[in-house]
Amino acid sequence: MSTIKVHDKTFDIYLSEETIQQRVKELAAQINTDYAGKRPLFIAILNGSFMFAADLFKQLTVEAEICFIKLASYKGMKSSGNVVTSIGLEDDLFGKDVIIVEDIVDTGKTLHNFLPKLGHQQPRSLKIATLLHKSEATVFPLHPDYVGFDIPNKFVVGYGLDYDGLGRNLKEIYQVI
Ligand code: 5GP
């Protein structure tokens, strides 16, 4: 189906399942090359990144660890501006090669606020992998190292991303009309 309704909004198909899966494979291949001989720790940001993190992780051939943390900065279709950690980080990051896994970087505020907290733990390296990047919406300068798709500044749902709790199960990504 190319047009769907989630709550009160209508969305058009934007990225097909095949397009997403192909790009995830390419990102994983790049990470496999870049981290050859290392053992990166992926920190996936819940809730939105769970699907991307799982698909990316399945494509890895390097030894790797993964953990999940929860930050909240979005309510409905507007950023609330507050970053709250509700599931803490238990792993010790000292000396580790850390890769943050995000579903989408929008203004950059979430990661801009969160990265210094990780930096204090002195990981050996700290990189960002995001499936989507709204680079034209950047307010807080941030340069994700692995980007699936640079997308326009329009609200999207699907493949883990929700609109007020719904739409995460969609295999494709849809853009609001
Ligand atoms: P930032 O802090 O970069 O402005 O926003 C990051 C968070 O905002 C993402 O992790 C995501 O939860 C949410 N977000 C930003 N844009 C969108 C969007 O188009 N759709 C959805 N579902 N969430 C978004």
Q: Structural domains in the chain?
A: 3-70+92-176 (3.40.50.2020)
Please spell the DSSP secondary structure of 63-86, one letter per residue.
--EEEEEEEEEEETTEEEEEEEEE
Separation between Cα atoms, residue 176 and residue 156, nearest integer Å: 6
Pocket test for ligand 1, best of 70, 104, 114, 170 (most atoms within 8 A of CB): 104
pLDDT tens digit string along 41-50?
999 999 999 9
Separation between Cα atoms, residue 164 and residue 104, nearest integer Å: 16
E strands in the chain: 3-6, 9-15, 41-46, 65-75, 78-87, 97-105, 125-133, 146-150, 156-157, 173-176
Strand partners, 130: 102, 147
- 44, 66 in Cβ contact below 8 A? yes
| Cα Dmax for the chain | 49
Catalytic residue check, 103? no
Residue 19 DSSP code: H
pLDDT tens digit string along 62-116?
999 999 998 865 445 555 555 555 466 877 899 999 999 999 999 998 898 889 8
Residue 86 confidence (pLDDT)? 46
User: For the purposes of burial, counting CB atoms within 10 Å of the CB of 58, is it exposed (0-12), middle (13-18) or buried (19 or more)?
Assistant: exposed
**CA 26–ligand 1 middle distance (angstroms):** 23
Which atom belonging to ligand 1 lies closest to the Cα atom of 139? 4
Give me the percent of the chain exceeding a pLDDT of 70. 90
Q: Ligand 1 pocket, 44 CB below 6 A?
A: no
**CA 74–ligand 1 middle distance (angstroms):** 6
Q: Exactly one of 34, 92, 106, 150 is catalytic; which is it?
A: 106
Q: Ligand 1 pocket, 138 CB below 6 A?
A: no
pLDDT tens digit string along 105-154?
999 988 988 898 888 899 999 999 999 999 999 999 899 999 999 999 99
* Nearest CA, atom 4, ligand 1: 107
Q: Ligand 1 pocket, 74 CB below 6 A?
A: yes
pLDDT tens digit string along 5-40?
999 999 999 999 999 999 999 999 999 999 999 999
